[in-house]
Structure 1
């Protein structure tokens, strides 16, 4: 066993969250349209699943006030954020109904599409699975777009936002 590692009980939520946080991830904002208007949520639990059919997944916490709206949404859009979009990520991590100050339009499926992101995947809900204190939401991509230029993605690692340093 590696002597540089300190064991902990997997039931120790604080230690488990800290260990999970050591896995750096990209940052996304997921949007949908509700009866009350557009809704957004920041998530770093995004992953590609399949090319045929084109499937992606993300997870929503059950305790989130926005969980039910997203778990029941027929259509949603996943936005891959650029390193310059930390304010967008922070905004939608805290609340989801206020799109003021952000450039967006209704996308091809009706879910809001935020301008300036590195990529956008418009999805139809494929399935939702209960998974502990989260729901795993699978989406089948019906429309996709990526920015034409190069750009670094916004990363989240150990509770901090960041980006890769530029190559020399």
Structure 2
């Protein structure tokens, strides 16, 4: 007996795939590092996940077309800042092309001199352990050297929208 296909299943296409992926709610991060000239670089990313407790590893991914890829690929460290529900403006600021994404942003410096965004609900200072090209992205695996947490409601990305979560 043939099983009937659900009526919502569509032939595979990229737009449909992106729409399906957008139904998985994720947190929102800003990943920061330093350029050779001493200025800072930061990008918004929702592709963040834990990998291992021993050793402490996390991962995130970046498009292979991103202008920041060469910097993140060679730098020894970066900081992953997990944004609070009150920080949607930072998610937007760090996702747009701009001369200075850090304009008006409050931060402190990590032990390696990288920006930790004020108000982040958690941050992870990582050694850039490994990178894996996969499809149209590069997967970065970072070994966490330090981290901190400030429990607050997180910023959520779902259905293509930033949402302030309730606690």
Q: Does TM, normalized by the shorter one, top 0.5?
A: yes
CA RMSD in angstroms comes to: 1.5
Shift of 1:162: 0.5
TM-score, normalising length: structure 2 = 0.91
SS of equivalent to 1:93: coil
SS of equivalent to 2:105: coil
Q: 2:63 — aligned with what?
A: 61
Query: Radius of gyration: which is bigger?
Result: 2
Encode CA deviations 1:89-126: one digit per residue, 9 max, x unaligned.
00001136431111112211222111110001000011
Structure 1 stretches lacking a partner, 5+ long: none
SS of equivalent to 2:127: strand
Aligned pair count? 162
Does residue 145 (structure 1) correspond to residue 145 (structure 2)? The answer is no
Structure 2 stretches lacking a partner, 5+ long: none
Q: Is the 8 A contact 2:86 2:164 kept in 1?
A: no
Does residue 116 (structure 1) correspond to residue 119 (structure 2)? The answer is yes
| Partner Cα distance (2:35, 2:50) in 1 | 25
Does residue 31 (structure 1) correspond to residue 19 (structure 2)? The answer is no
Which portions of structure 1, spanning 4 or more consecutive aligned residues, are displaced by more than 6 angstroms? none
SS of equivalent to 1:15: helix
TM-score, normalising length: structure 1 = 0.90
Q: 1:93 — aligned with what?
A: 95
| Partner Cα distance (1:85, 1:33) in 2 | 22
